[in-house]
Amino acid sequence: MAKPSYFYGIHAIDALLKYRPLDALSLFVQQGREGDSHVKDIIDQAQQNGISIQPTQKDKLTQLCGSPQHQGVVVHGRPLSFADEALLDTLSAQDHCLLLVLDQITDAHNFGACLRTAVAMGVDAVICPKHHAASLTPTVAKVSVGAAEMMPIISVTNLARTLAQIKSAGVFVFGTALDATAKPIHAADLTGKTAIIMGSEGEGMRRLTLESCDELVYIPMSGNEHGNLQSLNVSVATGMALYEVNRQRTLAAGQV
């Protein structure tokens, strides 16, 4: 069993206590911050769940979690875990499922930001490979402002095989890439069962991932016929791609 971690940040801890309170072992609160409304809410949640609360000096909190960005609260708790891969069968069967695939996103801050965007844009699950990918660390939880607790994140051994699996269930797989065959993302039909693949900023998608795509799309940008996906931070590009999915689906549903 993985050893406990130190989670930090108001939103990350609030989500942890809401979605998996039994995994919180103890709460450390910066002395003098107990009256802060957000901190007080966290203390109340901890008390309701029988979690021990320990007043702690600010510097000690920084030492515990390894970051000064703790916002006065740190939880010693069991680590985040990935969702069961079998969940993909259920999700792929849904009429308008939306999956986000992150291929080789190794930076914790980019990963966390992508998760935050995914929750905001109604993604049903995030898929990532077991290797060459960021883990579900407390840093990811902090950057995602709690989103890492709110949706399934599925780590798979063989991404190409997983993509074949969801394609067989009728999911159309779009890869974002700068390629002569790619079309502007707004020209693609994103209203059905959809998976959007985002590759790393430096290398993009791996060859087998690229070959698994049904269609390639790019994000047009002013002054450049094919845009320049690599010039965008991957979390920013993810937000733009997922927004286009939501825009099309809203129009298709007759909601303006």
Residue 146 sits in a domain of what CATH number? 3.40.1280.10
Q: What pLDDT is stored for residue 232 in this prediction?
A: 76
Chain segment 89-102, per-residue pLDDT in tens: 999 999 899 999 99
Mean pLDDT, rounded, for 233-244:
94
End-of-domain residue from the set 24, 52, 77:
77
Question: Strand 183-184 vs strand 52-56: parallel, antiparallel, or unpaired?
Answer: unpaired
Residue 125: exposure state from Cβ atoms within 10 A (0-12, 13-18, ≥19) = buried
Same domain assignment for residues 112 and 226: yes
Mean pLDDT (whole number) for 129-155:
94
Q: In this structure, is residue 187 part of a structural domain?
A: yes
- The domain boundary residue, chosen from 52, 77, 102: 77
pLDDT surpassing 60 at residue 1: no
* Nearest CA among 249, 234, 138 for reference residue 190: 249
Asked if 140 contacts 167 with a C-beta cutoff of 8 angstroms, the reply is no
Confidence of residue 43 (pLDDT cuts 50, 70, 90): very high
Instruction: Give pLDDT tens digits for 134-144.
Output: 999 999 999 99
Residue 143, classified by CB atoms within 10 Å of its CB into exposed (0-12), middle (13-18) or buried (19+), is buried
- Measured CA distances, 67 to 13, 121, 133, 158 (Å): 15, 29, 22, 34
What pLDDT, in 10s, does the model give residues 14-25? 999 999 999 999
Q: Is residue 82 part of a domain?
A: no
Q: Are residues 118 and 39 part of one domain? A: no
The CATH number given to whatever domain includes residue 42 is 3.30.1330.30
CA-CA distance, 192 to 170, in Å (whole number)?
9
Quick one: pLDDT at residue 24?
96
Q: 92 and 197: one domain?
A: yes
State the pTM of this model: 0.91
For 132, the domain range is 87-252
pLDDT in tens, 181-190: 889 999 999 9
Digit-coded pLDDT (tens) for 70-84: 999 999 999 999 999
The whole-angstrom separation of Cα 159 and Cα 212 is 9
What are 171-219's pLDDT values in tens digits? 999 999 877 788 999 999 999 999 999 998 777 888 899 999 999 999 8
**Which pLDDT belongs to residue 256?**
57
pLDDT score, position 233: 87
Count of the separate structural domains present in the chain? 2
pLDDT at 255: 65
φ, ψ of residue 225 in degrees (nearest 5): -55, -45
Q: Are 15 and 25 in contact (CB under 8 A)?
A: no
